[in-house]
């Protein structure tokens, strides 16, 4: 099966009835590892059992190599009353409604992403209900808690409707290894879900739970320094300035996705903490 244009949803059925899964790529159009993985895998892809939908998240953004066109698609999966009027008028909102038709039919979602940080650490973003699947994917770090602190993503939507949502951050977007990891993630996912047969090895995972998302108060948020993803910071350590206000960590934490911001009410960084287990 060859991939067609980016607007398509490519559905493959196995010879036997079985589980239903959806794999999304290009939700952020310039994170191309998943799109490249589809190009490499779909021409010869076969499914033994069940149904798998292979979907391009944001076709317009993929075509222009942009993160999004009018709004962040990965925040459009909230209830309508949680979105702004501008959000609801956007192309990304309309695309989210289209994708929901397939998310609603699937039992499990795999959504492939990449990072703009050259030293990005690959990890899986999900909740505890995905553990048995994530253990068989090519990652050693599982991050939970995003549903509470940063809602609106595809995985958030799946969890809210009683399904399983998994977001795989495959590494730095310009690193060829990110595409290789995306391909392996897809193949392992298909096997652990029972769509194909193959050997699987369970990985030993580390766990981090996110507990806070910092939203900017002014149009000038500046980091105190460049923080690596998952860098450990100490209680009282300065993270940045929001206008004239100094922002500090209130306790020992792990920082993630820290960025300078030039708009108020924008996502500046997340804070988390290590867990010994998910029990």
The pLDDT value recorded for residue 1 is: 42
The pLDDT value recorded for residue 136 is: 98
The pLDDT value recorded for residue 5 is: 62
- The architecture that CATH gives domain 9-192 is 3-Layer(aba) Sandwich (3.40)
CATH of domain 209-275: 2.40.50.100
Give CA–CA dist 168/166, Å, rounded. Answer: 6
For the chain, give every domain's residue range.
9-192, 209-275
Decide: 62 and 23 in contact? Cβ < 8 Å.
no
Tracing tokens 């409604």 back to the chain, one arrives at 97
Give CA–CA dist 224/244, Å, rounded. Answer: 13
Indicate if the alpha-carbon torsion angle 42, 43, 46, 51 is positive or negative.
positive
Cβ-based neighbours of 157, under 8 Å, separated by 6 or more: 77, 100, 103, 165
The pLDDT value recorded for residue 241 is: 98
Give CA–CA dist 159/109, Å, rounded. Answer: 10
Q: What is the mean pLDDT of each run of 10 residues along the chain (279 residues)?
A: 66 95 98 96 96 97 96 97 97 98 98 92 97 98 96 97 98 95 98 96 96 98 96 98 98 97 97 93
The pLDDT value recorded for residue 219 is: 98
Decide: 163 and 107 in contact? Cβ < 8 Å.
yes
């Amino acid at each position: 099966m060859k991939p067609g244009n980016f607007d398509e949803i490519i559905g493959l059925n196995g010879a036997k009835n079985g589980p239903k899964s959806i794999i999304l790529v290009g939700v952020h159009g310039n994170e191309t590892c998943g799109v490249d993985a589809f190009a490499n895998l779909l021409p010869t892809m076969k499914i033994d059992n069940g149904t798998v939908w292979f979907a391009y998240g944001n076709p317009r953004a993929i075509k222009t190599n942009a993160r999004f066109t009018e709004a962040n698609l990965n925040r459009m999966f909230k209830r309508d009353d949680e979105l702004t009027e501008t959000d609801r008028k956007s192309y990304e909102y309309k695309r989210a409604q289209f994708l929901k038709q397939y998310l609603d039919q699937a039992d499990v979602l795999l959504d492939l992403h990449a990072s703009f940080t050259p030293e990005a650490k690959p990890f899986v973003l999900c909740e505890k209900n995905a553990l048995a699947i994530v253990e068989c994917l090519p990652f050693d770090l599982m991050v939970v808690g995003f549903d509470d602190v940063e809602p609106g993503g595809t995985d958030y939507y799946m969890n809210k409707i009683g399904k399983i949502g998994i977001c795989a951050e495959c590494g730095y977007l310009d690193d060829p290894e990110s595409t290789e990891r995306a391909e392996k993630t897809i193949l392992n996912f298909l096997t652990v879900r029972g769509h194909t047969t193959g050997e699987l090895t369970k990985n030993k995972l580390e766990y981090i739970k996110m507990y806070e998302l910092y939203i900017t108060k002014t149009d000038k948020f500046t980091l105190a320094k460049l923080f690596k993803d998952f860098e450990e910071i100490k209680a009282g350590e300065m993270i940045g300035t929001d206008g004239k206000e100094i922002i500090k960590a209130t306790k020992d934490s792990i920082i993630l996705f820290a960025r300078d911001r030039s708009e108020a009410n924008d996502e500046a960084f997340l804070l988390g903490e290590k867990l010994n287990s998910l029990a």
